[in-house]
A and B are shown apart, each in its own frame.
Chain A
Amino acid sequence: MRLINRHPNPRLARVLTASPFVAVAVVYVIASTIRHAANPDDKLLPTIAQMGAAMWRMAAQQDMESGDYLMLNDTIVSLQRLLLGLGISLAVSFAIGVSVGMIPYLKRLFVPFINAFSMVPPLAILPILFIVAGIGETAKVSLIVLGTAPYMIRDLILRVEELPRPQIIKAQTLGAGDWQIALRVVVPQMLPRLIDSLRLSLGPAWLYLISAEAIAAENGLGYRIFLVRRYFAMDIILPYVAWITLLAFFADLGLRWLQHAAFPWFAGARAQ
């Protein structure tokens, strides 16, 4: 039988899914054990116990200086920046994407500009943001917005244009005006697609958040990683990276669930 026609049974499928994760963990533990056998003070590959102890300090014990639970504090601060940036991005791109996608005059006016603007590398203008907005929250949130909004706007314009033309004609023959078409035909069909767009933007959003925090911040997950790098504190860095990954993973999962629950028609419509 051809490989393309062979499927694992459910049990084997679960084993296959788990195996790369297990493999990475096993390889890590072995490598770490070897290094620690050679040099008990090895910092590069901390043992699971060392990482556990470091996490206990970061997550469950108050910082001596500030009295904060550092990991919790870092998480809250970072998520605030992320959500604020993505929220602004979402609102801006939805308004621009739908109106530009629908109205030919706006398309002529904005699409070439948006396309050109989206080529600006956001990190290259980070210094400008720091100069203009200072090193406070505004600059970090702005970086996330500048990094994600152009993509989301372009994506949404394309999605609006993708709506079958017969649908738009049909709406007009049913007596709908511009506003009515926007509110009853275009917007409801764009909302689930906006979730897709948001899911794809999560990665870049984290990238810009951590970059901004690495360069200028007093707290946040990215700040912490770049701070403890100075002491080679891999026992903090590695769990922090895993924690960020986990947060991103659950955000993605949550969005997928939201799409499914809030727009039950979307899966069927997409299949057609």
Chain B
Amino acid sequence: MSVLAVRDVWKLYHGRPVLERINAEIGEGSFVAVVGPSGCGKTTFLRMLMSEERPDRGAILLDGLPLPLEPTHDRGVVFQRYSVFPHLTVLGNVVLPLEFARSRRLGKLFGIAKQRAEEEARTMLEDVGLTGAAPLYPAALSGGMQQRLALAQALIRRPRVLLLDEPFSALDPGTRADIHALMKRLWRETQMTIVMVTHDISEAFRLGTRVLVFERPPVQPDGAQGGAVVTHDIKVHERNIDKLQSRRATPTGDGPGAVSVTSRDDLATA
């Protein structure tokens, strides 16, 4: 059974469709990359998955049940910016989710419980390569380190699904390559399901097991424009560790959704 099921979802803004007939079954452990030109509604799609917006038509199911009406801890998120809390240290940012879970009233742990949570957080920080940065505040971190922290924070409670909203777009190429490697490793180790929105087509194919391409039809002569639809659903590769370790997996086309390499490059420049 799929972890996330998106069934005939429509989203309207001021009566005009932004997204139309979106269907997707997202299987356990898959890494779905959503790409498309800006304004195609891919972020709206992600916002619906995190319950920040609701579809006007259709349904989204999480493990077969309707999506909760508000964000919950089963869907972790990493945004491009503002993903970590500026008033907490690196360590504090990763301890916080554990405090939320273990201290329902105050959201703050003390004494031994606090120490135990800090140990767990330190293990997590080590995993993302931020051990030395534990006592710093996020403002003192580079963009790449902030995103590593955001990942550590989102992963420490082991969400069912991880939603990524252009998480690496603002990083320089070298940093991005490092964090891609980290992302792949974390995904492999945790067996997590990931949905990532990006406008970087090569990132989508490098990381994703599947790439969904969103595109809006051209504007009609009368000014009307339909909502974006999924134009391509490309299976990049199976969840397979050997293949992931190869530098860049070759996309394997299946059915009418498959596209050639050239058209992908077209999308990249779109």
What residues of A have a CB within 8 angstroms of the CB of B88 in the complex?
265
Stretch binding the partner chain, chosen from B74-82, B183-191, B219-227 = B74-82
Contact with B along A74-106 (1 / 0, CB 8 A): 000000000000000000000000000000000
A266 vs B137: C-alpha distance when bound (angstroms): 10
Contact A268–B139 (Cβ < 8 Å) = yes
- Say which residue of A175, A183, A264, A271 sits within 8 Å of B73 (CB atoms): A175
Contact A173–B96 (Cβ < 8 Å) = no
Residue of A nearest to B79 (CB): A166
What residues of B have a CB within 8 angstroms of the CB of A197 in the complex?
none
Question: Any chain A CB within 8 A of the CB of B270?
Answer: no
A185 vs B105: C-alpha distance when bound (angstroms): 14
What residues of A have a CB within 8 angstroms of the CB of B106 in the complex?
179-180, 183
The answer to whether A170 and B77 touch (CB under 8 A), given A184-B96, A184-B107, A189-B86, is yes
Docked complex: B87-107 residues within 8 A CB-CB of A: 87-88, 96-97, 99-101, 104-107
Nearest-CB distance from B13 to chain A (Å)?
Answer: 17
Contact B137–A264 (Cβ < 8 Å) = yes
Question: Any chain B CB within 8 A of the CB of A245?
Answer: no
Docked complex: B45-76 residues within 8 A CB-CB of A: 50, 52, 70-73, 75-76
Contact A173–B137 (Cβ < 8 Å) = no
Nearest-CB distance from A264 to chain B (Å)?
Answer: 7
Contact B82–A166 (Cβ < 8 Å) = yes
A188 vs B85: C-alpha distance when bound (angstroms): 10
Contact A173–B75 (Cβ < 8 Å) = yes
Nearest-CB distance from B268 to chain A (Å)?
Answer: 27
Contact A268–B86 (Cβ < 8 Å) = yes
A265 vs B96: C-alpha distance when bound (angstroms): 17
The answer to whether A174 and B83 touch (CB under 8 A), given A169-B52, A179-B105, is no
Nearest-CB distance from B164 to chain A (Å)?
Answer: 12
A268 vs B85: C-alpha distance when bound (angstroms): 12
Contact B83–A166 (Cβ < 8 Å) = yes
What residues of A have a CB within 8 angstroms of the CB of B82 in the complex?
164, 166-167, 170
Question: Any chain B CB within 8 A of the CB of A272?
Answer: yes
> On chain A, which size bracket covers the interface?
20 to 34
Question: Any chain B CB within 8 A of the CB of A232?
Answer: no
Residue of B nearest to A265 (CB): B137
Docked complex: A258-272 residues within 8 A CB-CB of B: 263-266, 268-269, 271-272
The answer to whether A173 and B83 touch (CB under 8 A), given A184-B108, A265-B139, A272-B139, is no
Question: Any chain B CB within 8 A of the CB of A20?
Answer: no
Docked complex: A165-220 residues within 8 A CB-CB of B: 166-167, 169-177, 179-180, 183-185, 188-189
What residues of A have a CB within 8 angstroms of the CB of B70 in the complex?
172
A264 vs B87: C-alpha distance when bound (angstroms): 9
Contact B81–A180 (Cβ < 8 Å) = no
The answer to whether A173 and B139 touch (CB under 8 A), given A180-B100, A180-B107, A183-B107, is no
A239 vs B140: C-alpha distance when bound (angstroms): 46
Contact A177–B104 (Cβ < 8 Å) = yes
Residue of A nearest to B156 (CB): A174
A272 vs B138: C-alpha distance when bound (angstroms): 10
What residues of A have a CB within 8 angstroms of the CB of B139 in the complex?
265, 268-269, 271-272
What residues of A have a CB within 8 angstroms of the CB of B87 in the complex?
188-189, 263, 265-266, 269
A189 vs B73: C-alpha distance when bound (angstroms): 22
Question: Any chain A CB within 8 A of the CB of B154?
Answer: yes
Contact A173–B76 (Cβ < 8 Å) = yes
A180 vs B99: C-alpha distance when bound (angstroms): 9
The answer to whether A174 and B137 touch (CB under 8 A), given A183-B106, A265-B86, is no
Contact A174–B100 (Cβ < 8 Å) = yes
A272 vs B140: C-alpha distance when bound (angstroms): 10
What residues of B have a CB within 8 angstroms of the CB of A269 in the complex?
86-87, 137-139
The answer to whether A175 and B100 touch (CB under 8 A), given A164-B82, A167-B82, A184-B108, is yes
The answer to whether A173 and B72 touch (CB under 8 A), given A166-B81, A180-B100, A264-B137, is yes
Question: Any chain A CB within 8 A of the CB of B198?
Answer: no
What residues of B have a CB within 8 angstroms of the CB of A169 in the complex?
50, 52, 71, 77, 79
Nearest first, the 8 A-B pairs at minimum CB distance are A268-B139, A180-B107, A269-B86, A175-B73, A164-B82, A172-B71, A174-B97, A265-B137
19 of the cross-chain contacts (CB-CB < 8 Å) are A166-B79, A166-B82, A166-B83, A167-B83, A169-B52, A170-B77, A172-B70, A172-B72, A173-B75, A173-B76, A174-B153, A175-B73, A175-B101, A175-B157, A183-B108, A184-B99, A265-B137, A268-B140, A269-B139
